[in-house]
Amino acid sequence: MMILDILLMVVAVAIILLSLLQGGKSDGISGAFTGSGGLNLFANVKERGPEKTIANITLVLGIAFFALVILIQVL
């Protein structure tokens, strides 16, 4: 049980770090208020190279995080 808790903390820290490494995909909060650039939530943004790798690892770690939380609650 203690191992699962430690693993959950490690995964959570890794998700936070990888989320901070990802580049922004919008104009920021000022663009949202001024309307510059048009806010298109369904824009097709292609990720390539390291950005795609970081996004995929973040996705896998997110799924692992939720699986660990459910597993800890069941046990």
d(C-alpha 70, C-alpha 73), whole Å? 5
Per-position DSSP letters for 13-50, written without gaps between them: HHHHHHHHHSPP-S--HHHHHH-TT---TT--PPP-TH
**pLDDT for res 57:** 95
Average pLDDT, the chain: 82
Q: What is the mean pLDDT of residues 42-63?
A: 84
Instruction: Give the global pTM.
Output: 0.70
Under a CB-based contact definition with an 8 Å cutoff, are residues 47 and 55 in contact?
Answer: yes
Residue spans per domain, the chain: 2-38+46-74
d(C-alpha 23, C-alpha 12), whole Å? 19
Structure tokens belonging to residue 58? 């973040």
**pLDDT for res 48:** 80
Higher pLDDT, 23 or 52: 52
